[in-house]
A and B are shown apart, each in its own frame.
Chain A
């Protein structure tokens, strides 16, 4: 019976949540579900077809689940990477694959430097690699940049001024490293560690600069909190217990310990509002950021009625003040759909406005966008509650350390001489 449990949990570990990314201009929307990459162009209202000269034929540019997608800050580049141990760098204009980089291990996070010169990616063994896009040689190999000692890196982010690269891991830690002028020699100077989370760190986001000399960083975690940090010193400025504040969890209720992990964070253009996705919430929590006091507080909970929509990924479209959300999962065992995705948009993400969840008929791009990004215009709602559970289980298995009961550990120590005689 024990064996049965392990094989089942392994299957769940293999599922990957759906991801979404929005081009800085808001013109392109990218969704990744399982190994599939789907891009929609809102300017000419059509699906984008990707081209990769090294691969002919079908849409399978990745051979396994995609774990990270991202647009460059300048909007020229798009990267995708995942469990197939390849990183693909695309032109976000022609949608040709510029470069395919092989990794030794599965890729868990990607980041593009704000000047568009370097692409960094993290592998499952805690190494962060850098690819120099300037290099003229055809054979571009990634160079190791820094390492978290054998911990899964969950998120990578460049600071807005490009001076630092931030990496978050499963061991509750956020590391702030100086991004050197020549990163191919490695990044050896650590600026700070941001320590305070009591579970894995799942996501990072910067508060857009408010004429403040220091960049402030937001992080979400499996401990159901969002925290605000000063990255130059690593000081914890504020902790917002989002799950408690949003009424999902009693502050002293430990019955469902890991059920309310923060899965994604997204800041608005002015940095005054932060959208937060929580694993158990059908909707999102909006936090407001108080600039002068440097504090976070819950502004409102936007629930999505009638649906079983627990967002797996959030993306902000600054020009239109829309928040794009996706929920879904790669091939779910027991269901006919090869991969599930559902896209929703909340408009009016602004301090002065009332956020509105747009109906499918009001969504930018309409039915055509939904068909492209979801694979189908209408999807079975029931499947999504199963999907949400599967994603939750997968995340727990991957990132939460197994706790063995005290008695078990004591039993294994029973042969210790020093313990035996003291009793």
Chain B
């Protein structure tokens, strides 16, 4: 491969990182012990590294502003970038297990910030295993939206415990979501769509959104259109299956 200069991983016309240099496998084993720093607790998350515009110094005295949206398995970051301009005052983070992909999203956000001064300051990305370390990143009831777009389907029954939506992991998502917070899931795999819907349906801390609520929610429209995976499905005239549920307060029966 010919080296064309220091910044050759970036496109000359747009200044954005070129995806071909960040190619990664589509799957990653969530069960292995990976090596990346994990914050000891949510209070150890350094907001000044992620959002320097909102937190100019690492002194976190003014920590009233917290991350409200989490895109779990953000992939190449398409959803984050669309959400950023839709909710410019809301802090959001993408979580991605694949090192190269999270590296790409990081570069992409930095270039977007340079190209559009004042914009895209509210989004960031972290390389982590969200199935293991969600409680290390977010406090109880901190989040108002969680996104799970086109997750790895893990078809084999033996590997179902690797799925990012599962009855037990929903307990942890319910913990970090505020009451009224919304969990968005979408997939192009019918079997996984059924699985995610069933998991959410059977969980005592979630209820489905009504048809009307789905129509008025601006984030729902982005589910199938904003991400790279979603666009690929649309190009191939594929079908998508979504499940959008709201976190509800615990009733007396379960507590």
Partners in one complex: yes
Does B237 sit within 8 A of A, measured CB to CB?
no
Partner of B8 from A151, A188, A421 at Cβ < 8 Å: A421
How far, in angstroms, from A198 to B41 measured CA to CA in the complex? 10
Q: Do B21 and A173 have beta carbons less than 8 Å apart?
A: no
A418 touches B6 (CB 8 A): no
Given contact pairs A180-B255, A189-B255, A418-B22, A149 touches B131 in the complex (Cβ within 8 A): yes
B171:A190 contact, CB within 8 angstroms: yes
Q: Are A146 and B168 in contact (CB under 8 A)?
A: yes
Interface flag for B180 (CB, 8 Å): no
Task: Assess the B171–A146 pair: CB atoms within 8 A.
Answer: yes
Binary CB contact string for chain B from 223 to 250 against chain A (1 if under 8 A, 0 otherwise): 0000000000000000000000000001
**Cβ-defined contact, B132 with A180, below 8 A:** no
Contact between A416 and B100 (Cβ–Cβ < 8 Å)? Answer: yes
A297 at the interface (CB under 8 A from B): no
Q: Is the CB of B171 within 8 A of A188?
A: yes
Interface presence of A193 (CB below 8 A):
yes
Contacts of A188 in B (CB 8 A): 170-171, 174, 203-205, 250, 254
Q: How many residues of B contact A (CB 8 A)?
A: 42
- Could you tell me if B172 and A190 are in contact, using CB atoms closer than 8 angstroms? yes
A192 to B17, CA, bound (A): 40
Chain B residues positioned under 8 Å from A362 (CB to CB): none
Binds B, one of A129-137, A372-380, A382-390, A401-409: A401-409
Q: B35 to A198, Cβ gap below 8 A? A: no
Q: Are A150 and B175 in contact (CB under 8 A)?
A: no
The residues in A between 290 and 306 inclusive whose CB is less than 8 angstroms from any CB of B are: none
B208 at interface by CB-CB < 8 Å: no
Q: Give the distance to chain A from B204, nearest Cβ to Cβ, in Å.
A: 6
* Residues in chain B near residue A418, CB distance under 8 A: 9, 17, 21-22, 100, 103-104
Asked whether B132 lies within 8 Å of A151 as measured between CB atoms, the reply is yes
Q: Is B253 an interface residue (CB 8 A)?
A: yes
The answer to whether A13 has its CB under 8 Å from any CB of chain B is: no
Shortest Cβ distance from A189 into chain B, in angstroms?
5
A186 within 8 A of B: yes
Cα A20 to Cα B100 in complex, Å, equals 49
B3 at interface, CB cutoff 8 A: yes
Flag whether A196 is at the interface (Cβ < 8 A).
Answer: yes
Nearest chain-A residue to B6 (Cβ)? A422
Interface pair B175/A190, CB less than 8 Å apart: yes
CB within 8 Å of A: which residues of B? 1, 3, 6, 8-9, 17, 20-23, 31, 33, 35, 40-42, 99-100, 103-104, 131-133, 135-136, 140, 161, 167-172, 174-175, 203-205, 250, 253-255
Beyond the given A402-B33, A413-B99, please list 9 additional residue pairs across the A-B interface where CB-CB is below 8 A.
A149-B169, A150-B31, A151-B132, A171-B132, A189-B171, A189-B205, A193-B135, A196-B41, A421-B9
Of the A-B pairs whose beta carbons lie under 8 Å apart in the complex, a sample of 27, sorted by A's number, is A146-B168, A146-B171, A147-B168, A147-B171, A149-B132, A149-B168, A149-B169, A172-B40, A180-B255, A181-B253, A181-B255, A182-B254, A186-B171, A188-B203, A188-B250, A189-B205, A189-B254, A190-B175, A195-B136, A198-B40, A409-B35, A417-B1, A417-B21, A417-B22, A417-B23, A418-B21, A418-B104
